[in-house]
Amino acid sequence: MSVEATPERTTPATTGSEFLAGAKLGFPVVVASAPFAFLFGALAAKNGISVAEATLMSATIFGGASQMVGIELFGQKIAPWLVVLSIFAVNFRHVLYSASIGRTLSHWTFLHQAIGYFFLTDPQFAEVERKAEKGLPVTFAWYAGMGVTIYVPWVIESGLGAYFGNLIPDPHSIGMDFLLPIYFFGLVMSFRTRANWLPVVIVSGIASIIAYKTVGSPWHVSIGAAAGIALATMLPIRNGQVSRP
Partner 1 sequence: MSTTAWIILWGAVATYLTRIGGHLVLSRFERVHPRVEAALNAVPAAVLTTLVAPAALTAGPVELVALAVAGLMSLRFGMLQLFLVSAAVLIVGRQIFG
Closest approach, Cβ 138 to partner 1, in A, equals: 14
Closest approach, Cβ 7 to partner 1, in A, equals: 23
- Please name the residues in contact with 82: beta carbons below 8 A apart, sequence gap of 6 or more: 73
Closest approach, Cβ 222 to partner 1, in A, equals: 8
Closest approach, Cβ 99 to partner 1, in A, equals: 3
Q: How many CB atoms lie within 10 A of CB 47?
A: 15
Which of residues 7 and 92 has its CB atom nearest to partner 1 in the complex? 92
Which of residues 15 and 147 has its CB atom nearest to partner 1 in the complex? 147
Closest approach, Cβ 231 to partner 1, in A, equals: 8
Write phi, then psi, for 52 (nearest 5 degrees): -65, -40
Gyration radius (Cα) of the chain, Å:
19
Sign, Cα dihedral of 165, 166, 172, 175: negative
Say how far apart CA 27 and CA 49 lie, in whole Å.
29
Which of residues 14 and 217 has its CB atom nearest to partner 1 in the complex? 217
Which of residues 4 and 28 has its CB atom nearest to partner 1 in the complex? 28
Say how far apart CA 89 and CA 98 lie, in whole Å.
15
Contact indicator for 161, 35 with CB cutoff of 8 Å: no
Which of residues 118 and 167 has its CB atom nearest to partner 1 in the complex? 118
Which of residues 2 and 239 has its CB atom nearest to partner 1 in the complex? 239
Closest approach, Cβ 60 to partner 1, in A, equals: 4
Say how far apart CA 219 and CA 92 lie, in whole Å.
9
Write phi, then psi, for 189 (nearest 5 degrees): -60, -35
